[in-house]
Amino acid sequence: MSFEGASSVGDGGTGVGDTVGRVVDTDDRVVDADDLTFGYTAAPVVEDVSFAVDRGEYVGIVGPNGSGKSTLLRLVLGLHEPDSGSCRLLGHPSLAFAERERVGYVAQDVTEDTKRMPITVAEVVLMGRFPHAGFGRVTESDRERVREALRTVGIERLADRKVTALSGGQRQRTYIARALAGEAELLVLDEPTVGVDAESVDAFFDLLERLNDEGMTVLLVEHDIGAVLEHASRVICLNREVYFDGSPTAFAESDALDRAYGTNLVGRKEGEK
């Protein structure tokens, strides 16, 4: 399985194409999508979408159900071939990207899939080391990487537990640990908090923010707009096309929600408090 721009919007951007004088070194680009268009039928699900993600960013993608968010991630990862446009992932065309260990991908249904996996947490995380294992042999150094990854995400005590016995939040941490053990440079997460209890969700977002503070690039699709505004450093609002790309503050002050969702969810939430 293989995983493939346009200028990124600056920290204070108020809409698409507002670079706010920011100078970007293309060598630091982790994702570079240019005019991506894709449809499962004749009607496009994603249309003329351009954006770039720089190394070290934490980008949250929001949008209504059916707006093309998950499809966009799959285009970025080279899991779909665009009808038009192109994308590069870590400097390589997404469709030809072969260094899978450099990207940690947590799919939307991963917690369901792992309910049937009769292996332990440590064994799942160890899979992240396989691309690095010389001649297919796992060394003590590889196992130490696994232990370090488990400690980082706070589940070292669960190392010997079967994945089938974990909660949704614990399974999400297991797959992030696998990415860390594999020395991933980019975490791509698609609706990672679906089916996870509220307390675990808060801890999960705190973990992502800490990993980002330590240098991990994060690209997140999330239905919880409030969590994205609180934790991400940049917001992309999508409904087939990009309605906004900029800082959380500018997004909250914009009319992007009105246009993309048909209602100002941020204003409504603030009014309910």
Question: In which domain, by residue range, is 205 found?
Answer: 26-115+186-272
**In a domain? residue 220:** yes
Is the pLDDT score of 232 beyond 60? yes
**In a domain? residue 94:** yes
What is the per-residue DSSP string for 179-201?
Answer: HHHTT-SEEEEESTTTT--HHHH
Residue that wins the pLDDT comparison between 170 and 95 = 95
**In a domain? residue 169:** no
Average pLDDT, the chain: 84
pLDDT one-digit tens code per residue, 89-123: 999 999 999 988 899 998 876 555 555 668 999 99
**In a domain? residue 167:** no
Say how many domains are in the chain.
1
**In a domain? residue 203:** yes
Question: In this structure, are strands 186-190 and 58-62 parallel, antiparallel, or unpaired?
Answer: unpaired
* 174/185 Cα distance (integer angstroms): 17
Is the pLDDT score of 159 beyond 60? yes
**In a domain? residue 238:** yes
* 241/49 Cα distance (integer angstroms): 6
Q: What CATH number has the domain bearing residue 69?
A: 3.40.50.300
pLDDT one-digit tens code per residue, 11-63: 334 344 333 333 445 568 999 999 999 999 999 999 999 999 999 999 999 99
**In a domain? residue 165:** no
**In a domain? residue 131:** no
